[in-house]
Structure 1
Amino acid sequence: MIIVLIGYMGSGKSSIGRRLVKKLDCSLIDLDDFIEEKEQATVKEIFASKGEIYFRKKEEEYLLELLKFKEDVILSLGGGTPCFGNNMNHIIDADNTKSIYLKSSIPKLVDKLIKKKAKRPLIAHIETKQELAEFIGKHLFERAHFYSKAQYQVVTDDKSKDEITEEILELL
């Protein structure tokens, strides 16, 4: 089975993915890391040198490759991946795949991301919590249509990582 974790940056895709790997004894693949390995460049470098259109085409190509894996894997997507091209349809239509939207509220995302914004190029320029909340709110409004197509939704607010992990395991 391929378990696809979907959600906004800071929603816990990577940390929950690492916990699921331990419980399910499978591999974790971060799509952005996979792209960087295949392209021999960071996502930031790809955007700078070849542009977003090139990146999004490669993202779809590599997503399709990963969705054909036969072994059990947790696949953590970039926050924007489900929103481009036919990516969400590819995920829904893939055999032996479960998609899970890790849904976090704007205030919870702001609290997590404000501390880590220097490591996140998309939000590094944002100065205040209010500006960050507006930025996230706009993105979530645009992305909600795609995220909500996931097979399951798990609300992450006010839950520990262990509680979220257990909730996902119960869904599977």
Structure 2
Amino acid sequence: MRIYLIGYMGSGKSTLGRAFAQKQKLNFIDFDAYLEKREQQSIASIFNEKGEIYFRKQEAKYLKELLQGREDAVVSLGGGTPCYGDAMERIKAAKGTSVYINVPVTELSNRLWKERDHRPVLKHQDTPEKLEEFVRKHLFERSFYYNQADVILRTQGQTLEESLAALEKALL
């Protein structure tokens, strides 16, 4: 079993993915952590020092590596990973199931407001209103890719346990 979790930043891909993997006794791979380990640098540092174009090229390279993996695993992809180049096509062609964790804009904005200092693309959003407008626009642009997932898991105001049960129901 290979599960690829996709969705906007703050949608809970890593949290839900880790919980699902643990419950199903699967390996868990956080793609952002994988990329940081391979680059020996944080994503924020990569963005600051080398720019987004370099980051996206490296992201594509490491995604290719992960998609070639054969072990059972839950893979939490970066929010933008499926939205560049032919990444979504490659995800869909890989062995496994892609799952879009769909969270409403207002909920995403509330979650991200608390952690925007740790997210390079959000560092300039200095009011909750600006952040929500940014998320709304960005999510609209990315929805074309996200909605190609094999499974769309809509969550709104759910606890981790409720989201986990919904994911299990959708996949098992």
1:137 and 2:108 correspond: no
Aligned residue type for 1:52: E
Partner residue in 1 for 2:107: 108
| Structure 1 residues 92 and 44: CA distance shift in structure 2, 3 A | same
Aligned match of 1:68: 68
Is 2:7 the partner of 1:7? Answer: yes
Q: Which amino acid aligns with 2:152?
A: Q
Cα pair 2:44 2:119 within 8 Å, conserved? no
Match in the other structure for 2:47: 47
Structure-to-structure mapping, 1:1-172, within 5 angstroms: 1-95=1-95, 97-172=96-171
The alpha-carbon deviation at position 80 of structure 1 amounts to 0.6
Q: Structure 2 counterpart of 1:13, which letter?
A: K
TM-score with structure 2 setting the length: 0.94
- Unaligned 5+ residue runs, structure 1? none
CA RMSD of aligned residues (A): 1.2
Paired residue secondary structure (1:114): helix
- The one-letter code of the counterpart of 2:6 is I
Letter in 2 for 1:5: L
Quickly say closer, same or farther: Cα 1:118–1:44, change in 2 above 3 A: closer
Measured after TM superposition, the shift of residue 50 of structure 1 is 2.7
Q: How far apart in 2 are the matches of 1:133 and 1:127?
A: 11
Structure 1 contact 32–78 (Cα < 8 Å) conserved? yes
Give the aligned length: 171
Which residue identity lines up with residue 28 of structure 2 in the other structure? Answer: L
Bigger shift: residues 157-166 or 138-147? 157-166
**Which residue identity lines up with residue 107 of structure 1 in the other structure?**
T
Letter in 1 for 2:161: D
| C-alpha deviation, 1:85, in angstroms | 0.8
Q: How many angstroms apart in 2 are the aligned matches of 1:41 and 1:103?
A: 29
Runs of 4+ in 1 over 4 A off after TM superposition: none
Q: Normalising by structure 1, report the TM-score.
A: 0.94
Compute the displacement of 1:44 (Å). Answer: 2.0
What are the ranges of 5 or more consecutive residues in structure 2 without an aligned counterpart? none
